[in-house]
Amino acid sequence: MILLGKCVASDSSFMICFYTDIQRRDWLFEFMRLYDFYVGPRILKEIPSALRSADKFVSSVCTVDLDYYQLVRPFFGRGGSHIDDGEYESIGIAFHLNEEGLLRYLIIDERRARNFVKAHFPGLQSKLVGTVGFVRDCCCRDQSICTDDAISILECMKSAVEKGGLGGKRPCGLEKVGVASIIEPALEQIRKGS
Amino acid sequence: MDREEVRQNGLENLILLVLGADARKCSVLHLEKEVFVLWNFHPSIDSFVRFIRHYHGPFSKEIQETIHKPMFLDDCWRYHPPAEGDDLSSGYVTLTEQGRRRYQEVVAKIPPGHELHSLMSAMKMVRTLYDKLSPKELLLLIYDTYPEYIEKSSVFDRIDRERKGLAREMLQKGAIDSERYETLLKE
């Protein structure tokens, strides 16, 4: 299938999920080959430095050198707790790509940022997915990856989430309850579609 | 054009683009704060405008003067004075027919892939976000986010006294979330 507008604005949790949580860099780079990923300086700061400096990553990703967080800052205040949050940067990048008619997906896992998109940017809602939803849509909607690969990826994520992260970290941005409420329904949809 | 004229011409086109980014009328207060947010975002704006601390938060004398007396873009926008009793909005601005045509011409001249396209999207984004706030709500968010730009005054005291009610209104209409609501109450 030819994808018109195959640009993706993604937060760092998507990349951390593949690089660190399930350690399947091959899948991450395959997605980056299939779609044009856009990131800004805050997102780059949040991802592991080894990934950030990897030649394959540098040559695959489109870097936007603008501080999109400044556009939304009054909605989050001057406090430092959100200053490094790449999610808000990815929303700004997505808004721009959408204006240009190029946006395919905006990948955000964090609840507050997702709610911010829903409250303020209805034009982005149909493109908003989480990491799991992105894998599902790549398979069911775009047919850019095959059913077996999509199932393997989600099974791998499921196993990482069930195992749990160290130091209270949530693998793939999901709590354990996310297995039943997010991963299983996506797996079911993929299996039904096959 | 000398340096000052280049700066003035740039500022007038910047105002034209912000006004043209959304069909709604825009208060001068909103226009100024939206340009401030854009000024923090995009380095190209820095040379056109300056902001100082003021009783309305970040203030630009150049924007206020240019709205009333543009040097280059004649008849592109119309100023509507504030209604009686409105001491916050500083009046409203709308694009004229000529302004709309000029806006389309300027947009059409921007080459594909030029960095101005990201600035144009950012203008639409800030108009979408901030135009839905009342002048009081906008001032509360601006005061709270940029205290270094506040000149304390009776306006600041009034907004500060109404902080709780304004925060609740913004929460109820979905402009801010409960986490931002809580931080606004703490100040």
Least confident of A26-40, A68-82, B36-50, B136-150: A68-82
Is B141 within 8 Å of chain A by CB?
A: yes
Listed by number, the residues of chain B in 24-53 with a beta carbon closer than 8 Å to a beta carbon of chain A are 37-38, 40-42
Q: What is the pLDDT of residue B186?
A: 81
Chain segment B64-74, per-residue pLDDT in tens: 999 999 999 99
Q: Residue A57: what residue type? A: F
Give how far Cα A121 sits from Cα of A95, A105, B175, Å.
8, 14, 11
- Cβ atoms of A5 and A75 within 8 Å: the answer is no
Q: In whole angstroms, give the CA distance from residue A152 to residue B117.
A: 40
On the question of pLDDT at A3 being above 80, the answer is no
What is the reported pTM? 0.93
* Residue in B with minimal Cα distance to A116: B177
Q: What is the mean pLDDT of residues A4-24?
A: 91
* Residue spans per domain, chain A: 7-193
Q: How far is CA B112 from the centre of its chain?
A: 26
Q: What is the mean pLDDT of residues B162-169?
A: 97
pLDDT value at position A12? 93
Structure tokens, A182: 């997010």
Q: Whole-number mean pLDDT of chain A?
A: 91
> Per-residue pLDDT for A112 more than 80?
yes
Distance CA A128, CA A109 (A): 10
Percent of chain A beyond pLDDT 90? 80
Q: What pLDDT score does B75 carry?
A: 94
pLDDT band at B115 (very low <50, low <70, confident <90, very high): confident
SS3 label, residue A20 = helix
pLDDT recorded at residue A84: 59
Residues B147 and B159: their CA atoms lie apart, in Å, by 13
Q: Tell me if chain A has a CB within 8 Å of the CB of B113.
A: no
**Which residues of chain B have a CB within 8 Å of the CB of A89?**
none
d(CA B25, CA B39): 21
- In this structure, what token pair is assigned to residue B34? 């939206």
How far is Cα A127 from Cα A97, in angstroms, rounded to an integer?
11
- Residue B91 has a pLDDT of 97
pLDDT on residue A9: 97
pLDDT value of position B18: 98
**DSSP class per residue in B57-121:** BSB-HHHHHHHHS-SS-TTSEEEEPPPTT--SS--EEEE-HHHHHHHHHHHHHSPTT-THHHHHH
Residue A79: predicted pLDDT: 65
A160 — pLDDT class (breaks 50, 70, 90): very high
- pLDDT band per the 50, 70, 90 thresholds, residue A96: very high
Distance of CA B103 to the CA centre of its chain: 17
- The ipTM (two decimal places) reads 0.94
Of A68, A83, A96, A114, which to mutate for an interface test with B (greatest number of B Cβ within 10 Å)?
A96
Which range (A184-188, A189-193, B96-100, B162-166) has the least confidence? A189-193
Residue A37 three-state SS: strand
pLDDT of residue B31: 98
